[in-house]
Chains A and B, each alone.
Chain A
Amino acid sequence: MNRLIFIILFFTLSMRPVENERIITRQGQVSFFSYTSVENIKAENNQVLSIVDLQKGTIAVSMLMNSFIFEKALMKEHFNESYIESDVYPKATFEGNIVDFDPSDKNDQTRMIRGTFTMHGVSKELEIKTKIERKGKNYILSGTFEALVKHYNIKIPPLLAGNIADSISVNFRFEYGPYEK
């Protein structure tokens, strides 16, 4: 009898829809750094959209390239008009999976995220080591990866080649809350 009750309870609970299967941030932060002996360039975007499906372990990210803030107006102009061509390619996106992600684990986890990053019309497979922190119903995903300029068909004029690093360091920090219906 006890076993029957246990089986019924088990199936009832396992079939119960999980609350807030999806989490969202509309104010994710992505920043990039280019270090050269000529100059250092830093830019930050604080309006990155990302949605994670906790049960499927999938993640989607979308950002507007013209929302990056630079210290100098000329850097922003070169970035948008000459390198990234943000009027032609306004968004960068990432779609991937969090490998071995356990949404029930209340401790911090470090997981690999594998997926496709698309920028400037070029898609590349990436694997990014990501720290996952859980604070109640909220999650924070953060990490760093390197993007090679030549992989994304970005043409730097020879005169400015010394100002832009071959490899750009990209940092991200996404603070998610429950998805609003």
Chain B
Amino acid sequence: MKRKIVIPLVAILGITFAYVFINMKDTTQETVMRASPSFYLNANDLVHGFTTENSSTNSILAEDIIGVMGKIKEINTLNNKQTIFLANSDGGNSSVLCDMQQNQINQIQKLKVGDTIRVKGVFKGFLKDVILLNCVITNQNE
């Protein structure tokens, strides 16, 4: 009798768990909000590490959450995304591209070009710019 109840119960729980697991939403945004960055760098050092193949950025791996401080070069809403570029004042036109989370809109509206900010986000790699996704603005103490 017990077996007749337990087996279907386990099966239902298993199917429910599998369904939730398969359909789970991407939780990267919440992860970035909570996470402590593996590295903190200023935008110049970060860009310099990639443009000069400097070894200082070798230890940064794709998908690491990193923190970056820098001066805002540009803010735009291309592709309906909030994007902030952090300048590399060492020259050259490479910068740090921060694709911001949608919940950052209110904070972004208070910012202007030339402001210095600190962000954290998921490091994806380097093309012409260092690319960080799911970025949030953090305060100096974080």
A1-44: CB near B (< 8 Å → 1, else 0) gives: 00000000000000000000000101101000000000000000
The verdict on A175 contacting chain B, using a C-beta distance below 8 Å, is yes
B97 cross-chain contacts in A, Cβ below 8 A: 26-27, 47
- Bound together, the chains give a CA A63 to CA B129 distance in angstroms of 11
Closest residue of B by beta carbon distance from A47: B131
Looking at the complex, which one of A47, A73, A175 makes contact with B26 (CB distance below 8 Å)? A73
Known A-B contacts A27-B79, A47-B97, A180-B93; A72 and B23 likewise in contact (beta carbons under 8 Å):
yes
Of the candidates B22, B26, B124, B129, the one whose C-beta lies within 8 Å of that of A76 is B26
**A87 lies within 8 A of B127 (CB):** no
CB of B68 closer than 8 Å to a CB of A: no
Expressed in whole angstroms, the minimum distance between the Cβ of A137 and any Cβ of chain B is 16
**What residues on A are CB-neighbors of B128 within 8 Å?**
24, 26, 49
Report the tally of A-B residue pairs with Cβ distances under 8 A: 67
Contact of B25 among A27, A62, A71, A87 (CB under 8 A): A71
Q: Looking at chain A, what size class is its interface with the partner chain?
A: 20 to 34
Q: Please give me the residue from chain A that is nearest to B85 by CB atom.
A: A26
- Cβ A87 vs Cβ B62 within 8 A: yes
When A47-B99, A66-B63, A87-B62 are in contact, do A26 and B129 touch as well, CB less than 8 Å?
yes
Least CB distance, B53 to chain A, in whole angstroms:
16
Interface residue? A64 (CB, 8 A):
yes
Tell me if A74 is interfacial: C-beta within 8 Å of chain B: yes
Contacts of B127 in A (CB 8 A): 26, 47, 49, 62-64, 91
A49 — which chain B residues lie within 8 A by C-beta? 127-129
Give A73 to B63 CA distance when docked, in angstroms: 13
Complexed CA–CA distance, A71 and B22 (Å): 11
Q: Which residue of B lies closest to A67 (CB)?
A: B124
Q: Does A46 contact B (CB under 8 A)?
A: yes
A103 within 8 A of B: no
Measured between alpha carbons, how far is A87 from B124 in the docked complex, in Å? 11
Is B11 at the interface (CB under 8 A from chain A)? no
A64, A70, A74: the one within 8 Å of B21 (CB): A74
Chain B residues positioned under 8 Å from A74 (CB to CB): 21-22, 24
**Which residues in A have some Cβ–Cβ distance to B below 8 Å?**
24, 26-27, 29, 46-47, 49, 62-64, 66-67, 69-74, 76, 86-87, 90-91, 175, 180-181
Give chain B's interface residues, CB within 8 Å of chain A.
21-28, 62-63, 76, 78-79, 81, 83, 93, 97, 99, 124-125, 127-129, 131, 133
- Pick 30 A–B contacts, CB within 8 A, sort by A: A24-B128, A26-B97, A26-B129, A27-B78, A27-B81, A27-B83, A27-B97, A46-B79, A46-B81, A47-B99, A47-B133, A49-B129, A63-B127, A66-B63, A66-B125, A67-B124, A67-B125, A67-B131, A69-B26, A72-B23, A72-B24, A72-B25, A73-B24, A73-B26, A74-B21, A74-B22, A86-B62, A91-B127, A180-B93, A181-B93
